[in-house]
Amino acid sequence: MFGRSVPLAHSLLRNVPAGVGLRRWASTKTLRETLQEVIPAKQEQLKKLKAEHSQTVVGEVKVENIIGGMRGLKAMLWEASVLDPNEGIRFHGLTIPDCQKVLPPAPGGKEMTAESMFWLLLTGRVPSPNESSQFSAELAEKAELPAFVENFVDSLPRTLHPMTQLGMGVAALNHDSQFQAAYERGIKKSEYWTYMLEDCLDLAAKLPALAARIYRNVYHPDKAIAPVDKNMDLVGNYSNMLGFGHNESLTEYLRLYIALHGDHEGGNASAHTSHLVGSTLSDPYLSYSAALFALAGPLHGLANQEVLRWQMAMQKEIGESVSHENIRDYLWKTLRSGQVVPGYGHGVLRNPDPRFIALQEFCKARPELQASSMIQLVQKTAEVAPDVLKEHGKTKNPFPNVDATSGCVLYHYGLTEFKYYTVIFGVSRALGALTQLVWARALGLPIERPKSYSMDALEKLIKN
């Protein structure tokens, strides 16, 4: 995969914005050295925007924005990714297929690693295989949980939702926050990002061990948890600690899943929550624990398990012999009962989700998945559902999103505990949320404080 020439790599990156550096193969730099190069240019870019364009209008606020959850309102700076309604997500200008071509995989694997995606999100640069490998080794050194956090998580009742446990565990890690300690003793604002970075790297490194410990405590309490292997990448360790280290196909799927879910711009509830809490100068542990509790909401992070439940109910009703016609009938039955079809539509996207396409390509490349009746049902549903939803007429985007298939693959490979799926999402989404916390401090972004109105005040405003 990485025997490609430098010209090809640069060709793939021709759409990267001018501010994103292309010196990525000539030498091996640490993440901190790379950020030391990138941050001054970004600071200057922000300074110029403020000085020359602060009064430029980029949108207008309507009553529907105020009473409709601020949907679509252009009011947030987010550096790592941009979500286009038609193209889908781009990470510093790179599409998902671009990332799959140029981001380094784990040794012996084919899928890009979480570390390489994290490096790209943080720096805007594609790491070399050596840089990615060194970064992976650095995170592995930080991956073990403090004993008091292990004891705390072990003391929680098995009946407490895994997402609740994850948020509590992440918040408890702030005991050792370098940013909090530095702020209390007094540091310059220009140094905030360096301590924020250390905390963010520490949290990203520890999340797999924390999430795996919760899984084993809740679902397999009698089985020992594998120790962190310093020679493995983040997701390799995560899969191993979950108890699936023997299943390389699942491990590869988790690598792809976590990289694809790493960031989806800043307007979604969990990313926005992390940014909002972080704007108060809360440390990353507190900021991201708040994001996890937003992710736990049924309207945000629970969609993949809802899709799986719906698919299994359809499979039970129509049987193993699946046709487009009986899928169509079941879709209409769902819609006429007043329910939505889970896994279809998106708050921003107006075309098929590129993440769904990437996961489908993963499925098509593996005979065991192609032989799965559940995966076949997912694929056939994706062929039928858009036309049904267009005919129904109440869905702006009738195409499948990433949740239409993500949980079904986990289930096929034996990770069958539905309630845990959002925890995996939480491990993934940290990559983008933590990146933004670093950049918010590097750019000196202020506390977030929008203006609110009562209905009476709105009506008065409208009359005037």
Q: Which of 233, 283, 403, 412 is catalytic?
A: 403
Q: Which of 10, 161, 229, 300 is catalytic?
A: 300
Residue 451: helix, strand or coil by DSSP? Answer: coil
Q: How far apart, in Å, are the Cα atoms of 375 and each of 110, 256, 304, 389?
A: 21, 17, 14, 21
Give the integer Cα–Cα distance in Å for 14 and 25.
Answer: 16
- 175 a catalytic residue: no
Secondary structure E strands in 77-197: 81-84, 88-91
d(CA 286, CA 13): 35
Closest CA to 43 of 79, 90, 86: 79
d(CA 135, CA 204): 12
Q: Which of 261, 264, 346, 412 is catalytic?
A: 346
- Please indicate whether residue 272 is annotated as part of the active site: no
Angstrom distance (rounded) from CA 362 to CA 96:
13
CA distance 443 to 75: 16
Element housing 155 (H / E) = helix 147-155
DSSP-assigned beta bridge partners for residue 90: 82
> If DSSP codes are grouped into helix, strand and coil, which group holds residue 331?
helix
DSSP designation for 94: B
Q: What b/e string do you get for 426-452 counting C-beta neighbours within 10 Å, with b at 16 or more?
A: bbbbbbbbbbbbbbbbbbebeeeeeee
Q: Which two tokens stand for residue 130?
A: 């050596």
| Rounded-to-integer distance, Cα 440 and Cα 77, Å | 9
3-state DSSP of 370-413:
HCCHHHHHHHHHHHHHHHHHHHHCCCCCCCECCHHHHHHHHHHC
Nearest in space to 113 (alpha carbons), one of 232, 249, 243, 270: 232
Quick check: is 300 catalytic? yes
Q: Distance between CA 464 and CA 141 in Å, rounded?
A: 61
Structure-block tokens of residue 464: 């005037």
Residues annotated catalytic, as ranges: 300, 346, 403
